[in-house]
């Protein structure tokens, strides 16, 4: 099986004032928290957003694993909708000592390039900063971080930097080649 190099960049914000929000896109775009944990919906978002960029880590998760993950205090999924249709999502995962990871973020391919991504990232980062307001018992957020990699879209890194995230780590690792899973085989042309 062949491998290829993947560069992973980790970025952070260390104060709420680091966030540089993007303008809201034109049209009917709404961001709503998915308040009821739904393994089916979360797996749909994960596979639909990450299918063409080889997100495979969670594809093998059984229902119970999704349920266990989503039921953790402070794990939140915020979904962007354009005219009522899910367009993308941001998933927040609290960690120790007031750290919140933007664990997953992205748009379904048909919604990329429509100025939704910057708005969704801005909104998600703001929700990471005020996560403790919605979850009594969680530490106040002191740091928000995320990672992106060379498999992500060509505008991903620029979006993170324009939202006020700064680079704190870079790694290069070999990854094995896999077929693009997509939400179903052949969903997105290469």
d(CA 40, CA 111) in angstroms, rounded, equals 21
d(CA 84, CA 27) in angstroms, rounded, equals 11
* Model pLDDT for residues 133-186, shown as the tens digit of each residue: 999 999 999 999 999 999 888 889 999 999 999 999 999 999 888 766 666 665
Who wins on pLDDT, 188 or 114?
114
At 123, which helix (H) or strand (E)? helix 116-129
Average pLDDT score over the chain: 93
d(CA 115, CA 26) in angstroms, rounded, equals 8
* Model pLDDT for residues 21-48, shown as the tens digit of each residue: 999 999 999 999 999 999 999 999 999 9
Query: Domain 3-176 belongs to what topology?
Result: Aminopeptidase (3.40.630)
Residue 189 has pLDDT above 70, yes or no: no
Contact indicator for 188, 52 with CB cutoff of 8 Å: yes
At 135, which helix (H) or strand (E)? none
Global pTM exceeds 0.75: yes
Share of the chain above pLDDT 90, in %: 81
- Residue-range domain boundaries for the chain: 3-176
């Amino acid at each position: 099986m062949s491998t290829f190099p993947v560069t992973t960049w980790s970025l952070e914000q260390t104060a709420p004032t680091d966030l540089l929000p993007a303008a809201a896109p034109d049209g009917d775009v709404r961001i709503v928290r998915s308040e009821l944990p739904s393994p089916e919906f979360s797996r749909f978002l994960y596979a639909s957003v990450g299918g063409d960029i080889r997100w495979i880590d969670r594809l093998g998760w059984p229902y119970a694993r999704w349920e266990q993950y989503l039921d953790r205090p402070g794990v939140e999924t915020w979904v962007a909708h354009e005219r009522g249709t899910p367009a993308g999502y941001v998933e927040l995962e609290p960690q120790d000592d007031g750290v919140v990871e933007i664990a997953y973020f992205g748009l379904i391919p048909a919604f990329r390039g429509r100025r939704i991504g910057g708005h969704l990232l801005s909104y998600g980062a703001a929700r990471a900063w005020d996560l403790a307001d919605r979850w009594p018992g969680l530490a106040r957020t002191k740091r928000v971080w995320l990672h992106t990699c060379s498999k992500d879209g060509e505008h991903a890194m620029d979006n993170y930097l324009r939202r006020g995230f700064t680079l704190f780590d870079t790694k290069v690792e070999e990854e094995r080649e896999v077929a693009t899973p997509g939400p179903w085989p052949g969903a997105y042309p290469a």
